Structure 1
């Protein structure tokens, strides 16, 4: 029998064409006009999975866009791996900035350009190809379940309920996800932590209308003055959040974690220059990497009010508005942080100002094991495919559904990505490195093949 390497090499052209056919489907979950395309993408996956050897592959209804579920059972005593991904993609606007049409896949400079190539159709397809190869060779010795949703790009609205209702059906020993990024080219990384999120809208009012600054200036409160004074109270000068109790549930980094994060390739000066900044700033006592991945934050995302047009208008604004989000870590819970921030805002409202604070989106943080058996297997699989040890990383962003999977199914999660941060996901000219296409299949083939022993 040919080696896996030889088999993959011979099949490469056909595999890329098959991926391209998947990428041509305009599965944009946020557009109601694309509902038929969403179902086309789900049907495409079921057909591909059945041809790959998954006799049990089906489209399941969720109340929104459908979910694709498939399973391959080798034995009751074998470990079970649950793979999660998504087939929906982001809108393509602005269309004029694409070099080639977003749903007409093209290969340029060893990169496959198309919407969804990197996020997340490409990585999902790698899993299917790895499993297809092992099934065909009779070398898959673990049970596998695949859960591929169609609503990740619009908040996974229906997936938590689906997980709750189908927890037994999805029961597994480990969850494997490839919807994260590598550290850089030929620099794989295993993400073991994700920050959570909570959002608030702040609306401030003073008088019942805007007032003439010549007639009333100096005698009445200015809504914009009040808002900037209020927002300034949220932080200490050294960068720490000034909200009472904000850090109560934060567990500081261990020495091992700080050592692992310090190994990541990063240069503060290059980072500063690349962003066009005159200086970096953040919570004292932590490195840039630690601040941006493993510490909680409170950010003002939007501030508006008063006259916005050309020229001058001499008014005293009677209302101002701000949007706030917090990134959360460890044991912080979004609802608790929202209430603490709301309490701070109400208690610090300037004289003459009336506040309305609206609580908005939330997502729990996730912190996984640093050295679980599945993580150790992922390290070996990356090394098998890339020839280097992967970095252990935490991501500053949020993937709320990861925490939901972990909480509902009570299983370890391995975040093993193959995309690069420079691949323009969510932006024009999204692309996927063909080097990571090749090496990603090999890494995943190794993971699934060796899991029977490693996860016992």
Structure 2
């Protein structure tokens, strides 16, 4: 591969076609079904499908076919088949994945920005969905076009673009099973929906955390009463809820106290965390809008001394359980608060799990710990909404490790980095079960301050170009590995992927 020619081709494609396409895509409020119950009637998803399909059909890739597949009662899926070229193998296969549905608007956008208002500024394209994950179909096909531009061989490629990822990819297993014969036996799965620690090199995701969570409610009264009359006699539902939370979390350190919610961290992941910490340094926490003199959650020893090892923060974020309270009910706003002992307090719990902890087992442990021996005999309920297992990437084949590092060196002039992500993406675990034996390249452009799902989301355009070029390089190297007999494809395993939940991407 001619690195300079690839770089030039990809950059021109992005500037001339992809960025203008993404500008139009951002204007479409095609929220995922979880956030738009009337998505069919509103027609926005169809607009996004049409926009992307029309562009894809116009690309000059010999033999390419595109179908918009529609199963009854499900979101549509764009399915693209590209035959092997220039001596590549049609028996081997590369599967490239992305999604086109979006998160909802959220509040807090800067005055001159908005979720459906594309704004180009300082090499970034602001607006909902450009980086998560609208660029995927464009980047995938451009990577393949870059190979054709140089007459380079590649194996057969399949592109799947779903429209349900932000709702938990609950339609994807049905489509993968439905299309199993057409998909074939991929030996490499490329996903462009992940994050990056910085914009200076290629980052690959090695793991994702699981998630268990739901609504915990503590009720002490059938109705509110005067706090002057009842306090000291009737226990506070808030205080009792605090007691329950202290069963699972050390409020001084944030450490999760339930042994079954922890997992042994593989040696390879420890080393990758160490290397990532060396590269990122204080950007590990500086990327967040910390207020005042807030200190990060470094682990503390028995004497209460906090560690200064930055790799511990990487591991906290990727391989250790962590509890967040993401919502609260039963408490009025400050403006509406009166002297009332409230009847109940409810909180929404989000417990991140190590990648290898079974989500359903974790949910059961939460129930066992929180519902046993209710304090003061209060009425305690836990409505478990989410119980999803995470994902730990299979061991990477030497050819892929070399290909990824070579690609990063070629287009970033720096080595590739590997790190887990702290979020939960159910489809990754599902794809791992659907395609056993396949290798995974999980990468993306969601780096510092890109703020997917939140206000002021942006796509770092230069990162998008370089990731696209890296994918082209890896697909080219996949061909050589296939010729050497170093790739192993596997057919779709039916009725798999059920351990990873059906809740939204989070």
Aligned to 2:199: 185
Partner of 1:58: 67
1:315 aligned partner: 340
Q: Which moved more, 1:32-41 or 1:335-344?
A: 32-41
Worse-matched range after superposition: 437-446 or 3-12: 3-12
Deviation of residue 415 (structure 1)?
0.8
Q: What's the Cα RMSD here?
A: 3.0
Unaligned runs of 5+ residues in structure 2 are 302-310, 487-506
1:82 paired with 2:95, answer yes
Q: Secondary structure of the equivalent of 1:118?
A: helix
1:279 and 2:295 correspond? yes
Distance 1:135 1:295, change over 3 A: same
**1:210 match:** 224
Consecutive unaligned residues of structure 1, counting only runs of 5 or more, are: none
Shift of 1:407: 1.0
Q: Deviations over 1:297-341 (max 9, x none)?
A: 233333443554537633322212122121112321111111111
Corresponding residue SS for 2:427:
helix
Equivalent residues in 2 for 1:153-164 (5 A)?
Answer: 153-164=166-177
**Shift in Å at residue 231 of structure 1?**
1.6
- Offset at residue 196 of structure 1 (A): 1.0
Mapped to 1, the partners of 2:312 and 2:181 lie a distance apart of 42
The partner residue of 1:39 within 46, 53, 61 is 46
SS of equivalent to 1:153: helix
- Mapped partners of 2:359, 2:328: distance in 1: 22
Q: Deviations over 1:317-374 (max 9, x none)?
A: 2212122121112321111111111111112420230111111023321111353233
Select which of 121, 141, 162 maps to 1:128: 141
Q: What is aligned with 2:260?
A: 245
Q: Given the superposition, is the C-alpha separation of residues 5 and 392 from structure 1 closer, same or farther in structure 2, using an over 3 Å criterion?
A: closer
Q: Aligned to 2:375, what secondary structure does the other structure show?
A: coil
Distance in 2 (alpha carbons) for counterparts of 1:312 and 1:83: 53
Q: More deviation in 356-365 or 42-51?
A: 42-51
Task: Confirm or deny: 8 A CA contact 1:192 1:392 kept in the other structure.
Answer: yes
- 2:314, 2:243 → 1: CA distance? 30
Residues 17 and 383 of structure 1: is their aligned pair in 2 closer, same or farther, counting only changes over 3 Å? Answer: same
| Partner SS for 1:220 | coil
TM-score by length of 1: 0.89
Distance in 2, matches of 1:302 and 1:353, equals 21
Distance across 1 between alignment mates of 2:180 and 2:247: 44
Distance 1:348 1:329 in 2: 27
Relative to structure 1, the CA distance from residue 5 to residue 408 in structure 2 (aligned partners, 3 Å threshold; closer, same or farther) is closer
- Shift, 1:87, TM fit: 1.2
Counterpart check, 1:152 vs 2:148: no
Flag the 1:357–1:21 CA change in 2: closer, same or farther, 3 A: closer
How far apart, in 2, do the equivalents of 1:452 and 1:45 lie?
Answer: 27
From 184, 194, 198, the equivalent of 2:212 is 198
Residue 406 of structure 1 aligns with which residue? 432
Q: With structure 2 as the length reference, what TM-score do the two structures score?
A: 0.81
Q: For residue 37 of structure 1, report the CA deviation from its aligned partner.
A: 2.4
The answer as to whether partners of 1:27 and 1:38 remain within 8 angstroms in 2 is: yes
Match of 2:411 in 1: 385
What is the match of residue 395 of structure 1?
A: 421
Structure 2 equivalent of residue 116 of structure 1 = 129
1:378 CA displacement: 2.0
CA distance in 1, matches of 2:207, 2:29: 31
Partners of 2:5 and 2:331 lie apart in 1 by 69
Moved more, 174-183 or 291-300: 291-300
The answer on 1:28 being equivalent to 2:42 is no
Report how far residue 442 of structure 1 moved. 1.9
CA positional deviation for 1:381: 1.5
Q: What count of residue pairs does the alignment treat as equivalent?
A: 454
Distance 1:269 1:113 in 2: 23
Superposed displacement of residue 256, structure 1: 3.0
Of 92-101 and 215-224, deviating more is 92-101
Secondary structure of the 1:310 match is helix
Asked whether the 8 Å contact 1:86–1:151 carries over to 2, the reply is yes
In the TM superposition, what is the alpha-carbon distance from 1:142 to its structure 2 partner? 0.9
Partner of 1:169: 182
**Gap change, CA 1:415 and 1:204, over 3 Å in 2:** same
Instruction: Please show how residues 344-355 of structure 1 align to structure 2 within 5 Å.
Output: 344-355=369-380
Asked if the contact 2:97–2:136 (Cα under 8 Å) also holds between the matched residues in 1, the reply is no
Where does residue 282 of structure 2 map in the other structure?
Answer: 267
Inter-partner Cα distance in structure 1 for 2:271 and 2:124 = 36
Does structure 2 retain, via aligned residues, the 8 Å contact 1:268–1:288? Answer: no
The Cα of 1:125 is off from its aligned counterpart by 1.4
Q: Which residue of 2 aligns with 1:73?
A: 83
Q: CA separation in 1, counterparts of 2:352 and 2:202?
A: 24
Q: Which residue of 1 aligns with 2:502?
A: none
Q: 1:192 to 1:168 in 2, by over 3 A?
A: farther
Of 120-129 and 86-95, more deviation after overlay is shown by: 86-95
